A and B are shown apart, each in its own frame.
Chain A
Amino acid sequence: MSTGAELAARLRDRDLTAAPAVLNLVENRSPAARAEIEALLHGVSPAALGGEAPGHVVGVTGPPGAGKSTLLSALVTAWRAAGRSVAVLAVDPSSKRSGGALLGDRARIAYDPADRAVFIRSTAAAGRLGGIAPSTRAAAAALAAAFDVVVIETVGVGQSEVEVAGVADTVAVIVQPGSGDALQFLKSGIMEVPDVLVVTKADLGTVALRARRDLSAALRSLGERDTPVVAVSSIA
């Protein structure tokens, strides 16, 4: 086990190759790891960094099948093209009934495996949809010291963005056209207003247009005129 102080030093030097070891440490639940995690977090605190962490933490959340992975893939490609390093922390909602979890879909994010400036780690959610494991909070805080962008991907709608909002600088909620969940949650106040609403599958035409229009109307009625609603398509 690498020590927390060592890892923090590497992160402060913006050594991206420290990322796997950082995650191995923050996910470690043994009593011996606790002090090391504290040392790590201390070493990347604003005090140690001499200011806020340089990385921007983005929360991406939405229901299964809404197109999060496809969107993330495009975002990673665009960020890399702009020369920005990216860490993705994918929180997977897989069943924990047997104690195990099937994590995956990292392959849906296209990137060059030789590129050390892209880091993707999947973590099993501790039991509930949209929840963020304590290790994810710690990982985001630590990696933001070295990576330009840190993405936390969670699954769910209605509650998930609340927890993500506590960690992320920007929260994007992904909405699939034709499913009224996000709209209902927004109207009823269950869902906190995110920074950006993204309507996927814009190529579906009318149904996507309507989703975008309805969300904009709901935001206006909540007095949140400035929250952008963006429509995207993987085809066009």
Chain B
Amino acid sequence: MTSAPFPTGPINAVSGTAIAVRGDDIDTDRIIPARFLKCVTFSELGPAAFADDRAELNGQHPFDQSAHRGARLLVVNRNFGCGSSREHAPQALMRWGIRAVIGESFAEIFFGNCLALGIPCLSVDHDTALAVQAAIEADPALELSADLETLELRGAQGPSWRLTLAAGPRQMLRSGQWDATGQLLANGAALTATASRLPYLQGFAAA
């Protein structure tokens, strides 16, 4: 399995070919079944993405089609990534090669887990999702670019589609500050002040 370098720094656009996985409410157990969680590193998860769905479809799953190998953009429908909080799900997708997810809506924990890896989850309306999925299926070589600056999804020719991303995550990705650890550690004094006013850390001493 070949894979581009993992995301680092500012993310202003994600470009490449795309892959469509259709269906609402695709949960993280389906993205990575629990038996693959028996590991102490994420490193081997890429080939296991959608393992059971792929077995069920017997080679017909998009992740098994050679035309979609190397895809960078994953296009999905509603409530993608619901269920378990397992970061193994976006880790598996990232290690398979996905660098951005475009869909009608996302489960909250999945969205946050992707953000923490530098993988934008961009929203589109229902008709757009279906149109983009159809375009990808018709032409797996179609190169798309998801632009976080203009919030447009564009092909080399043809239509462009409107993307939605909340201001906060967008700013974090574009500024390269999507990995929160450094920011959280920068506020030590403020954190100590917060802790000092929490009754349960102060023996419930009268205020």
A and B: real partners? no
The chain B residues found within 8 Å of chain A, CB to CB, are none
